[in-house]
Amino acid sequence: MTSRDRTGHNASDLGSVESWLVSAGRDRRPGLPLNVPPCPASNFVLGERRAYSRDDGTPSWEALEEIVSGLEGGSSVSFASGMAGIAAIFDQLHTGSVVALSDDCYQAVAGIAKAGQSRGRWTVHRVAVADTARWIEMCGVADLIWLESPSNPLLTVADLDAICAAPRKRGAILGVDNTFATPLNQRPLTLGADVAMQSATKFIGGHSDLLSGVVTVRDANLLAALRQARELAGATPGTLETFLAVRGARTLALRLERAQCNAMTLAERLARHPNVTLTRYPGLASHPTHAAARRQLKGFGTIISFDVRGGASAADAVCAGLQLIQHATSLGAVESTIERRASIPGQEHLPPALLRLSVGIEAVEDLWTDLDRALRNVAG
């Protein structure tokens, strides 16, 4: 079965996303391995099925694409990384295009938008995630409307219901980076988006051991264009990486459920902590876009950002004082990680004392003991 046969499936075919995650992407012919094994092959014996992996894929890619296609409700293309997938989307734009981009977004996406603008390829308009009226306005003029919701790292939730329903310029692409929500909490394609992107490096892989990205679309022409962009750029996913992503995806529902419960508990406690000046989490009633989160999301996610009293030096000291929570970048894995985002090049505009915490599946009381001790030691 090739990747072209593995599209159009839906998680509801098996009754629930939990069952889909465990069952999808398997080759059920008698005598074959229960799990699709890594296939370290660049070329194949010529025949009807496939010839060269860069062009035709491997069983590992196909399994990952089938799983994510069913979760997102479309047809998927896997890439070497999330950024490779986003670059392929930007590559669909013609010279002179207009791009509407979230003001709060992953710094590498802002980088690719800025680089293209500097070369005269497109014009970029940065739009506040919560400014629904401005997004609706840009839908009528932009060739690419690119949102992150919840956003990174301020966790603002866009009104995707309204934005996706707005009339769009002919030929425009509306895409949503769905990494923070995961397709278990949010399905942008069902709301009317053209593209949903997952950095499978994060929650789908879930173990901090791979780079991968998956782009899911509804339109067959866009699907073909993205496959061609992947092929021509050589932005193909690795054999081991896709195997690991499939294995990680099997437990996504369990991991997400546990980590979200942990995150809600920690967010509520951080919001009351004397050495925290501001806590951002979509599940808190105090969050500016909490109403949109309640309306659109099935769960509030596992990411919290909070500002430490005392500024950047105090925030750095908190990171250094943690024992269980790992001081590391990235997110969405079984282990909890934390970092001061303004210390990263391209993120200097963020509040200097903001820490982004990706909550894992550890015992919540152990996580809180670690956080509370580090916060109080800074004050002490």
Residue for token pair 């919701």: 149
CA distance 331 to 341: 12
Choose among 356, 361, 374: nearest CA to 304: 356
**Alpha-carbon distances of 235 from 55, 146, 213, 216, 231, rounded to whole Å:** 11, 21, 10, 16, 7
Amino acid at 306: F
Question: 3-state class of 306 per DSSP?
Answer: strand
Residues 151/129, Cβ–Cβ less than 8 Å: yes
Contacts of residue 159, defined as CB under 8 A and 6 or more positions apart, other chains included, come to: 130, 132, 135, 292, 296
172 φ, ψ (degrees, to nearest 5)? -70, 155
Q: Which two tokens stand for residue 23?
A: 């069952």
Query: Which residue, chain included where needed, has tokens 């593209």?
Result: 195
**What whole-number distance in Å separates Cα of residue 86 and Cα of residue 177?**
9
Q: Cα-flanking dihedrals φ and ψ of residue 99, to 5°?
A: -115, 130
Radius of gyration of the chain measured on its C-alpha atoms:
21
Q: Which two tokens stand for residue 22?
A: 């465990």
Give the integer Cα–Cα distance in Å for 250 and 188: 22
Q: Tell me if 187 sits within 8 A of 296, measured CB to CB.
A: no
- Hey, which residues are catalytic here? 54, 106, 177, 202
Tokens of 379: 């004050």
Residues contacting residue 359 through CB under 8 Å, at least 6 positions apart: 259, 260, 262, 263, 266, 302, 303, 304, 336, 367
The owner of tokens 């934005």 is 163
